Structure 1
Amino acid sequence: MDKERVVVLALDGVYPFELGIPARIFGATLGRYEVLTCSVDGRPVRTNADFTIGVEQGPDVLATADTVVIAAIDPSRIPDDLSDEVTAALELIRPTARIVSICTGAFVLAAAGLLDGRKATTHWHLADLFRRRYPHIDLDPDVLFVDDGRILTSAGAASGVDVCLHIVRKDHGSELANLVARSCVVPPFRDGGQAQYIPQPVPQPGAASTAATRAWALERLGEPLTLADLAAHARMSGRTFARRFNDEVGLSPGRWLIQQRVARARHLLEASDLPVDHIAGEVGFATGASLRQHLHAAIGVSPQAYRRTFQESRRA
């Protein structure tokens, strides 16, 4: 089995936590990936902490990468223009290689022109700065990551875990992604987006959470759940429930339900031979056509194509 090579680029001011995410996630995939770390000159890299990291690879290894990850750097180190060394390093990346940024790494990709005409994200706290510098880039500061085909961008810190798990899921299916998540003791799929982490007014003492209702709904995805059903379970008015749900999750209840149903459908397509119409009913879509529409909107392929990809992967 050929391993996919992931090369992580460590730049001046790198966050140690984010730098280690790719090795931790991809390294737990039972040998599916090889992870290497490099700098733009092969020399040690200063972190944003009180230590320096030594790397064993120089920039030439970027030319061998199937996936390149630009790790996050301290906001104070975000350049207006890329240095000649960084520009030269990025030019070594093959046109077919997948490129991933974690948090402020999106600023590096934007400065290199790699995000022109694309949708992207970065840490919500830096959204205004990003928009001022790169108004031509379609920034979505509400999501945990954006998969725009060849280039993926993720939000702050731990969203690097989310995007790496997403890549494992996309490449090898949810079974392996779930195994990796359990090994790393992280959720295999986080609800919602960044909005839930933006500072909110302190809730009134005794204010109810929607967590119990979300757990209740996940056990009943096959049922035609409505906002009224969810609000009634939470013992709130529909308006209060919708507002509190969005504050906690970063999505409307309706969008969240669709997200969960698509995730469940993907697992069933990978792990079973159930007909598409049957899976649609199992996860709460009224028809197979509805499942096809939502799956295509989420990942750009039909249920049959998605299933075929992972059946062939299991046989390989």
Structure 2
Amino acid sequence: MPNTSHRVVVVLLPDTIGFDATIPSMIFGEATSADGAPLYEVLTCALDDSPVTTTNGYRLVAQGGPDLVATADTVIIPGTRHVPSRRDGVLGPDLAAVFDTIRPTTRMVSICTGAFVLAASGRLDGLRATTHWAYADDFRGLYPNVDLDESVLFIDEGDVLTSAGLAAGIDLCLHIVRRDHGTAVANHVARMCVVPPWREGGQAQFIDRAVPEAADQTTTATRQWALGNLTEPLSVAQLAAHARMSARTFNRRFRAETGEAPGTWVRNRRLDRARELLESGDLSIDAVAESSGLGSADSLRHHLRRGIGMSPSAYRRTFSGTPT
């Protein structure tokens, strides 16, 4: 996408969650090209001229009206108590008319309970999605055609992306920057906002449990060890042995803490490492595959295409400008 042409429009619906509404401008507003040019234009809109009430005791004044939605490259719906979508499973006539103006190529994003709005529009039917874990049962009751997974921080379904509650919106917006412009830009944004560029775990770690796990019975230390040893086999048996747990116990606790199976987590971290190497260095594709633990160039090509739809050579050209 051209550096200065991607317009992000944040739709503020009463009562909006104030924290969620500030995330897009904070993250996308810090994304710049190498020469300092902004990579995104972020605007807020409301359905009318009235200040938008929030759940936090203040009101927000949007920059424009609903006509901005038709100009958006990305539309973001922050968390909201929007009654029609939260109670009745519909958009309501005013919002439905606005959604009808969205261009077919526009990327749709929700933060927290904004997923109820996307679901009410039908854009989540048949797709995986997430929302705040506390409202998962309500969501399933209203939108049975959506494959809801409340154990993860965010879900990327291509042109439709959803995040869990509150701070998970930061994770999702950083993911979008990373997907659009690469790891280096996303890491710069994270540093400027003083947040981690990538956060482990899923919502499962925040859901109330009757009996909390003992501090010495987590998989955190093993995950840190694995990150430093990505070129090792890292089988479940190896990981469990490092954590001093049975494979069954380790697998259960790992899933509870990260929202992913151990094998999936390891593969994704290897892919993260490969992307960093492709962006920042001039290693051959074979060397990148070996250094990231993916083994062979064919394996790297397979996982990169499956994960982000690009070959290693295309990824390097896109995000580093370095010829292969």
Same fold (TM over 0.5): yes
Match of residue 159 from structure 1: 168
Match of residue 184 from structure 1: 193
Aligned pair in 2 of structure 1 residues 41, 288: CA closer, same or farther (>3 Å)?
same
Match of residue 122 from structure 2: 113
| 1:60-79 correspondence runs (5 A) | 60-74=67-81, 78-79=86-87
| 1:94-133 correspondence runs (5 A) | 94-133=103-142
CA contact (8 A) 2:278 2:320 kept: no
Offset at residue 294 of structure 1 (A): 2.0
CA contact (8 A) 2:52 2:59 kept: yes
Which is worse superposed, 73-82 or 254-263? 73-82
CA contact (8 A) 1:6 1:34 kept: yes
Structure 1: runs of 5+ lacking an equivalent: none
Aligned length: 314
CA contact (8 A) 1:122 1:141 kept: yes
Match of residue 21 from structure 2: 19
CA distance in 2, matches of 1:147, 1:259: 14
Q: Are 2:53 and 1:46 aligned?
A: yes
Which is worse superposed, 253-262 or 47-56? 47-56
Residue by residue, what CA displacement relative to the aligned partner does 1:5-43 show, whole Å, maximum 9, x if unpaired? Answer: 111000011000000000110111132111111101132
CA distance in 2, matches of 1:288, 1:308: 17
CA distance in 2, matches of 1:108, 1:16: 17
| 1:262-301 correspondence runs (5 A) | 262-301=271-310
CA contact (8 A) 2:4 2:41 kept: no
CA distance in 2, matches of 1:34, 1:218: 35
| 1:241-280 correspondence runs (5 A) | 241-280=250-289
User: Match for 2:153 among 144, 153, 157?
Assistant: 144
CA contact (8 A) 2:13 2:82 kept: no
Offset at residue 129 of structure 1 (A): 2.1
Offset at residue 163 of structure 1 (A): 1.0
Aligned pair in 2 of structure 1 residues 123, 204: CA closer, same or farther (>3 Å)?
closer
Aligned pair in 2 of structure 1 residues 237, 79: CA closer, same or farther (>3 Å)?
closer
CA contact (8 A) 1:192 1:256 kept: no
| 1:298-313 correspondence runs (5 A) | 298-312=307-321
Offset at residue 297 of structure 1 (A): 2.4
Measured on the aligned residues, the alpha-carbon RMSD in Å equals 2.1
Structure 2: runs of 5+ lacking an equivalent: 33-37
| Structure 2 SS opposite 1:37 | strand
Q: Are 2:243 and 1:234 aligned?
A: yes
Which is worse superposed, 82-91 or 61-70? 82-91
Residue by residue, what CA displacement relative to the aligned partner does 1:193-224 show, whole Å, maximum 9, x if unpaired? Answer: 22222223433655333212211111111122
Residue by residue, what CA displacement relative to the aligned partner does 1:125-181 show, whole Å, maximum 9, x if unpaired? Answer: 222222222222222222221211211111111111111001100111000101111
Letter in 1 for 2:22: G
Letter in 1 for 2:13: L
| Structure 2 SS opposite 1:6 | strand
Offset at residue 88 of structure 1 (A): 1.7
Match of residue 40 from structure 2: 33
Percentage identity across paired residues of the two chains: 54
Aligned pair in 2 of structure 1 residues 203, 305: CA closer, same or farther (>3 Å)?
same
Letter in 2 for 1:262: L
| Structure 1 SS opposite 2:249 | helix
| Structure 2 SS opposite 1:103 | coil
Aligned pair in 2 of structure 1 residues 302, 87: CA closer, same or farther (>3 Å)?
same
Match of residue 35 from structure 2: none
CA contact (8 A) 1:42 1:59 kept: no
CA distance in 1, matches of 2:30, 2:104: 27
Letter in 2 for 1:63: A
Q: After the TM superposition, which parts of structure 1 deviate over 6 Å for at least 4 consecutive aligned residues?
A: none
- Give the alignment's TM-score, normalised by structure 2: 0.90
CA distance in 1, matches of 2:151, 2:304: 21
Letter in 1 for 2:311: S
Offset at residue 241 of structure 1 (A): 2.5
Q: Are 2:221 and 1:212 aligned?
A: yes
